[in-house]
A = this chain, B = another copy of it.
Amino acid sequence: MENLKFMDEALVLAAEAAAEGEVPVGCVIVRNGQVVGRGRNRRETKKTALGHGEIEAIADACKNLGGWRLWDCTLYVTLEPCPMCAGAIINARIPRVVYGASDGKSGACGSVCDLFSMAFNHHPQVEKGIREEECAALLQEFFQNLRMELRSRPKWKKPQTQ
């Protein structure tokens, strides 16, 4: 029940990202049943390569809790973390990660590689597939709309020279 409740909160943030024209990924960090960090993908609007939901949520949680160790927190995210975000989860010592959809292109928690099973100094536990269909559907709809928009744009033509 906790998994579903907090994944729904992450899905709300993912939908907010989509409404801003961003790839819809949302993330919440939870401690003792309370949300202590929130984030959503904002790579385009913030114009930074670091603008993933997990990074924003970890920064928010560290600020709210006053330290860099998130020892007793769980991170919920709609899409499998990429290497940057999985590495940030290791650095923040987050013991438990729950994600929705898998990411065959960039996932670093089992898809392309599994950073959490390698010889680093922290090994978070993972639960995956929570609200998987809803998380994936948001992404599919976003990319479908993007493709339609790109197709409807007038084609670029090479300027004619005299």
Binding site for B on A (CB under 8 A): 43-44, 47-52, 55, 58-59, 62-63, 66-70, 82-88, 90-93, 105-106, 108, 112-113, 115, 118-121
B63 lies within 8 A of A48 (CB): yes
Minimum CB–CB distance from A4 to chain B (whole Å) comes to 27
Shortest Cβ gap from A97 to chain B (Å): 14
Distance in Å: Cβ of A114 to nearest Cβ of chain B: 10
- For the complex of A and B, the 6 pairs showing the least CB-CB separation, nearest first, are A84-B87, A83-B87, A49-B92, A49-B68, A48-B62, A49-B91
A47-B68, A50-B50, A113-B113 known; 7 new pairs, CB 8 Å cut-off, are: A48-B58, A48-B62, A48-B68, A49-B70, A50-B88, A84-B84, A85-B87
Chain B residues with Cβ below 8 Å from A118 are 112-113
Residues of B within 8 A of A69 (CB): 49
Could you pull out 29 A-B pairs where Cβ atoms are within 8 angstroms?
A43-B68, A44-B68, A47-B63, A47-B67, A48-B58, A48-B59, A48-B63, A49-B70, A49-B88, A50-B55, A50-B58, A50-B59, A50-B88, A52-B91, A82-B90, A83-B83, A83-B86, A83-B115, A84-B85, A84-B87, A84-B90, A85-B87, A86-B87, A105-B120, A105-B121, A112-B118, A112-B119, A113-B113, A113-B115
Is there an interface contact between B82 and A106, defined as CB atoms closer than 8 Å? no
The answer on a CB contact under 8 Å between A62 and B50 is: yes
How far apart sit A15 and B62, CA to CA, in the bound complex (Å)? 25
Complex: how many Å from CA A66 to CA B48?
8
Instruction: Out of B47, B49, B68, B85, name the residue touching A51 (CB < 8 Å).
Output: B68
